[in-house]
Structure 1
Amino acid sequence: MAIPPVSPEENNRITALESYYILDSLPEEDYEDITQLASDICETPIALISLVDKDRQWFKSHHGLDLQETSLEHSFCVHNLVSPQKPLVVEDARLDVRFANNAFVTGFPNIVFYAGSPLVDPNGYVLGSLCVIDHQPKQLTEKQLSALKILAKQVIKLLELRKQNQALKESEERYRLENIALITNRKRFETVLKHAPIGLGLLRGDEHVFELVNDRIADMAGRRAEDIQGKSLLEALPELSRQGLKEIFDSVRNTGQRFVAPDIPLQIQRNNQLETAHFYASFEPVQEPDGTVSIVDFSMEITEQLKAQRDLQESESRFRAIFEQAPMAMGQLKGRDLVIELGNPQLFEVWGKDPSIRGMRLIDALPEMQGQPFINILEGVFDSGEPFYGNGVLAQLFRNGRLEDLYFDFSYTPLRSADGEVTGIMIMAVEVTEQVLSRQKLEKSEARFRGLIKEAPFAIGVYETNDLIISIANDAMLQFWGRTPEVIGQKLAEALPELEGQPFIPLLHEILRTGQTYRATEEHADLLTNGRLQRYWFNYVYQPIFDSEGKVFAILNSAVNVTDKYLARQELQQSEQRYRDLAAELDQHVQERTQELLQTNQELQRSNENLQQFAYVASHDLQEPLRKIQTFSTLLSKRFAGQLDEQAYNLLERINTAGYRMSSLVSDLLTYSRFATRQQSFDEVSLEAVLAGVLDALSLTIRERKARIQTNALASVKGDAVQLHQLFQNLISNAIKFTPPEKQPEIQIQYELIRRNELPPESKLTGPVFHRISVSDQGVGFDEQYLDRIFMVFQRLHNKNEFPGTGIGLSICQQVVENHGGWITAKSQPDEGTTFLVYLPA
């Protein structure tokens, strides 16, 4: 069943319902009588007083139905909230789309007929309904509906009466409690009046007679309470007659307006003398039952407080002057949240902020503090109550629009309340960036100086004051002296007693006196080394060091041990003649060796000429007879065709084949020889052009074998075009030749530029970058254990009848690659093809 939409006044309606305190109350006879009467008048078995709550309907009275409450989704009465002006009548709920699917219609209690009159409170809010229910269709007469409305109004009257009774009970209870409180308050007032820490008095009538006086006000007046009680103001305190106090009381009594004064100075007769005292006073008018006005005097002497306050103000004024004018940054943080409470101009200048950040948390005002140690340190000071001091600490702060590295000496001091609890932190800081940077620079300079001295290739020492105290001595100097670093800090004469009688100590004193630099070359010194006195020769300098007043305070001693050089020169001078004699002998030997080299060079030239002559003879004298053998055998085969038997034909064919093989062998040998002896003169060669020439030269073979050759873009290299042509031709010819006749040759030529770390481990090449050219086929392949043999002259891995050739082609390839400073290798497996890899320096 659909629930009607909630009205915007629903919250007010629920509040009105709750104001009757009726929900979940016990059954009451008056309400039971109404439902009984409604059931009788309307002739229905069921009558209910239903109150619609936020999420339920609750039955104050349920005649004929044993239910205390239901959910709103089962409620008919909830529809009365929509139209409170007239009753809701449903003659047959089974035929009403609003209720046909309601569980109370389709099941227990099988509601068919429903009539409900809204329960409307005096403010117009519908609290629920008085309803009647039947299990069969029904119609009510006008009189029955009118009676139902009257009974609904009676329910509202009962609810209103209930509310009024409840209010009356609450009022009576309040009166009872207030009466008890009044008696208690009166007793409490009398106690407070007597023991109050401030003066309290009640003055009545025109003469302001003290009707009530506590001990405190009597003490302030320098009297006893019984001496003042019942007397008028001026009778009890005549010294006040001309100080205007009575006139103030008269004004309060006549106008009925209170009078409050934070400081009233009065002269009071106390301790047998007239004293000036200061009071805080509040004179409150009180209306008496007879219409007259009395005055309650609340007074407290503040003489000492004013004096302390003036002292405090003077102290604060002095502190604030110091705080504001202090040359250091000062501030105060409040609470563990570190809220900025105070700060002098110097602090805000250090932070690069203005005073508007007061009241902000430190981390919010200075977000750059995140990740720096200061927030943690401040929280630690607050938690532990122990101060923290920092010297030359680095802080990164935003100033002038950028993050700057700054250094500070600072202190964080906890501030405590009167009970000793930490309430905040006082911060004081002095920027020492220039001093720290100067010190760091000085330390770096000193460290660099000491490092230079320590690592210097010559000996360095520094002697200070007239006692020549050793303040610096590097390892080289200690080694010269044959001493350990323990001598640093000792007098030179005590650290090296063997210097007594030698000129060095007097010379150093003379330099201290005159300030003149002294230099010596190859001057000897006797030093105690390994337990015995030995003589050394030195080049050294004594350089005076001056203070700011121009006085010599130290001497820098730099020395180089030239003993070996000195002794070597002495030895050299002694053996010059021997060296001259050896030089003459060497000159004779050089002349003889030169003659031998000239003779060897001539023999080498003759050998090269012979090799060139052999190439010429092989080119002409050997090739010519081979061509004639091939020509004559061919002519014989043609002329005597049909006259020769099969054996004769086979012999001629074998002669022709042998001649062809011999010609190829000689040609390959010539090529190999020419490449082996050719002088290197390289130019920029396009591999694309070289490959095009090779493919053109092999075009007939490629067409006959229907070979497919694929390649990517090739680069240009430094090399010899003829040799590179031979390299590609031999590799491509091999790839075609070693592909079985029944297969179509497929050849892949790939180029890429690689770095040294991409070379195979077995390569011995040097250099940073290389061209890599690979030629791959799908031929018969070979076992890689024979890799070294395939590049040897006349070495073959296959039968020459199966794959013809001279066995020189790959040797030529290796020679060409090595001529270009490169390396060639191969990868292969039997019946899985071969890839030749050529590496040339780029």
Structure 2
Amino acid sequence: MPTPELLSKDQLLEVYALTQTATAVHVGESAVIQTANNAMLKIWGKDKSVIGKSLEDALPELKGQPFIDMFKKVWNEGLTISGTDTAADLEVDGEIHTFYFDFEYRAIKDANEKILCILHTAIDVTDRVLREKAIALAHENEMALEKEQALNQELAAANEDLQQTKEKLAELNTELENKVNARVIALQQSNYKYQLLNEEFSALNEELATTIEELSASNEELLNSRQHLEEKIAELAASEGRFRSLISQAPMAICVIRASDLVVVEVNEGYLEIVGKSRKEIENKVIWEAVAEAAEGYAPLMQNVITTGVAFLANEHEVVLVRNGNHEIVFLDFVYEPVKSQEGIVTSIMVVVIDVTEKVTARRSIEDVEERVRLAVDAAEIGTFDYNYLTNTMVTSDRFNAIFGVQEFSSRDEYLKVFHPDDIHLSAEAHERARQTGKMLYEARLIHPDGSIHWMRVQANVYYDEKQNPVRLLGTILDITEFKRLQQQKDDFISIASHELKTPITALKASLQLLDRMKDKPASSMLPRLIEQSNRSMGKISELVEDLLNVSRMNEGQIKLTKKRFVLSHTLNECCSHVRIGGKHELVFQGDADLEVVADEHRIDQVIVNLVNNAVKYAPNSKQIYLIVENLGDMVRVSVKDTGMGISAEKLPHLFNRYYRVDDSGYQVSGLGLGLYISADIIERHGGEIGVDSEEGKGSTFWFTLPL
């Protein structure tokens, strides 16, 4: 398998530019930008024109912020500086905005501890930080509302106390008036009691003065409570203003919905852009009337949040929205966050939405590519493995384990137990070469639990750490048992073909040499016998060459059939004259003697001759060979039956394979193992089937069918 061509530096930079993690490389104390990928340029709000500039020239808004000094410290001291949720003011589209990042400035050194560059990575966490602040602000507003309600309750209680005081004062005034009237009457009746009345009147005046003082104190407390309430109301208004400003400026989509009637009370531009609606169509409207296409799926979820007070979080939900009159499929991360009163009642729902359509589409595209690669690997029946040099553990695919004929093992040592004892050293040698070259390629035999032997081919790459120590080996294995069998079969065929051709050629050469010597003695008695022997050798050579030519024509699709109507019994009685002349076997016809077929008579004759020749070769003691014709309705079945030793069951499935010979012990029986293969192709081209029924010790029946 050819080694893939390595990527060039420019290609590597193109790939690096597409990575999702924002990354840049700086050199020098002034942090000159050596390179920056697309994700980092997007964070800076710049294009590739900043490459080659110092950080201060490329991003002048960083002056006065700590980052430039951090770069200098990292470059001068070889440190690594990192931070999380760190605020940075950056200019985007001509305006300064505050963003939040998880970042790292890492000094990259060579083997001599010399600083080569600074690796700058950053992750934009603005959405998460602002979302957390928004939720915190919402909580702060809840607390302010709770305080306002408490003050209102205090004011109501003070008003109630004041009313009670007024009622008590009125009662005292009435009582005082009654007492004064009573005393006046009594004074009129008796001057003696005047002094006592004056004393009681003074006591009443004192009681009235005390009551008036209490009333004044209550009025002062009420005024203080009102002033405190006004201050809290003003504070609440300011907090609400900040909340509205935060919603308006937040980079993610936010919508606030009143729980009682589901009316939208606050919405920012980000939310309007996601749902594809104008502010007029959304604000102060019932949310499910404004975004009717989402009501069926999400109205019950929002109602459940209002009822239970439990937030609903959604990740990558597929939603169909009508935007600009068109139905569009989008993927959203969103949360329905309940906002509760002091009593725990949900008063509103804050919806925070992030459009992740591009991320989901990109991931699905990657998953699709991975699935196609997996299907290709599965279709090729390739096993995969990942070997860890440090832990001596392996992660293998199902196909890998199937090739080894085992369940999943965890260590390499367990897999080595499956190796053939004569091949186990090949693994260690291959690993030693791989450590030096980075490549592994070898073949070995495996012994399955059932005792069967299988061949495998291993191909892998080694991956090293920064010190060039091997840490991982990733590779594939392929079951090449069938390939090895075919290769052995091919070698056997070449050996057999050489032997089969050598025998008649040697005989022919000897006959020709004798004939050459006898050319001046035409009356020699050996002449007829030499000519007969030469013809027999030429016939054998012609048979072998014809078989090879037939296989070549079959592979090239050049065998054509010339069909005509003929009587099968006539063909069977006229074929195999060489067997009848030999006199060792009797060909016995059985069945329908008048059955006609439409086929290529020459090719069918060739098939019958092959089957009869096999019976003569492998059942030499079968004196009678039966030629049987049966009418099966829409098909005819022709059988050649012998009473020889039969064929073992394990050999039956391979009889019609190319180059296969029943006698695999050497050259005991002549032939190339092509006769049955050619016969099977001829019958298949006629639309029929060919097969064999055999049992050891009871003979064999080779048969084929043809359409009627």
The bucket for the TM-score relative to the shorter chain is 0.3 to 0.5
Give me the TM-score of the superposition, normalised by structure 2: 0.38
Name whichever structure is richer in helix by fraction: 2
TM-score of the pair, normalised by structure 1: 0.32
**Structure with larger RCO (C-alpha < 8 A, sep 6+):** 2
